[in-house]
Amino acid sequence: MEYRALSVPPHLQPYVYSAVWIHRNANAPFRFNMLPRFNPAFIFSLKHTEDISNHYAGNEIVFKPCNIYFGGGGIVPSRFTIPAKMDIILILLYPQATGAFWQEDALHFFDRPDRITNAGQQLRILNDKVSDARSIDQKWHHIQQFLSIRLQKRKPHNFSYVQRAMQMIQQTSGLIDIKTLALQAYTSQRNLLDRFRQYTGTTPKQIASITRFNKVAKSYIINPDINALYKNAVKHRYHDPSHLYKDFNRYLLQSPLHFLAQDNEINIVV
């Protein structure tokens, strides 16, 4: 698999976590269970890709070439089949950017990936521009222009509460309580909960749980030592191995050993 990071301009950095072109030209597909989705994502499926399938919560979505897909954050177990030939642009947003982009309640997008190619004239035009552009740089330029228009609209003051709280969750690897978050965000606990649901589609507690688990799971991919995993889990306030195994089953339907046995190359990126 070939990865190429795409430069995110400063004015989009408060909303866009990363952008990457992913290209695969192999002999066979592979399957993997994805970590809980902290970052909402746009997937631009380019014309040279084969179908990508995603099974989640008893549903299936197939990513077809020359289309745009969006998925908010998510916690339900999600299994992907990556084809032998894949060519996509993946854009990861910060969780609060879901509500900012769509200008509606992010609850509608949490754990609900969908094709958005025809969700309005602007997206249809963007898809045509991306499909017609010859280079990855040209495609990314069109996407940047579109995101700039949608994300740079004036935000309500309450958006800043969620931004500050999200920064604290990331800085503490999710080891922070709602009372402290509200104090750091300069608002009340109730207001923070309401604004979180509005912009991210879930609660600060759930975002913190995802952050903590992903931190531990990704460290296990990098250092595949079960004893190191347990020590790291204790640092992240897992009480014992059974507590950690419960989260692996909850988010991945896998034990730590089965998780490590799969191809986790994409899990590291996302």
**Is residue 248 domain-resident?**
no
The per-residue pLDDT for 81 is 98
Task: Say yes or no to pLDDT of 42 above 80.
Answer: yes
**Is residue 256 domain-resident?**
no
Residues 195-212 have pLDDT tens digits of: 999 999 999 999 999 999
**Is residue 100 domain-resident?**
yes
| Long-range Cβ contacts of 1-9 (<8 Å, 24+ apart) | 1/26, 1/86, 1/265, 1/266, 3/269, 4/136, 6/89, 6/136, 6/140, 9/144, 9/148
Mean pLDDT value of segment 244-249: 96
List the 30-34 sheet strands across, edge first: 30-34, 78-82, 52-56, 59-63
* pTM assigned to the model: 0.94
Q: Provide the domain count of the chain.
A: 1
Task: Say yes or no to pLDDT of 234 above 90.
Answer: yes
Q: Which amino acid would we find at residue 59?
A: N
**Is residue 117 domain-resident?**
yes
Question: What distance, in Å, lies between the first and last C-alpha atoms of the chain?
Answer: 14
**Is residue 161 domain-resident?**
no
**Is residue 106 domain-resident?**
yes
**Is residue 87 domain-resident?**
yes
Q: What domain range is 130 assigned to?
A: 2-151
Q: What is the CATH number of the domain that holds 111?
A: 2.60.120.10
**Is residue 266 domain-resident?**
no
The per-residue pLDDT for 158 is 85
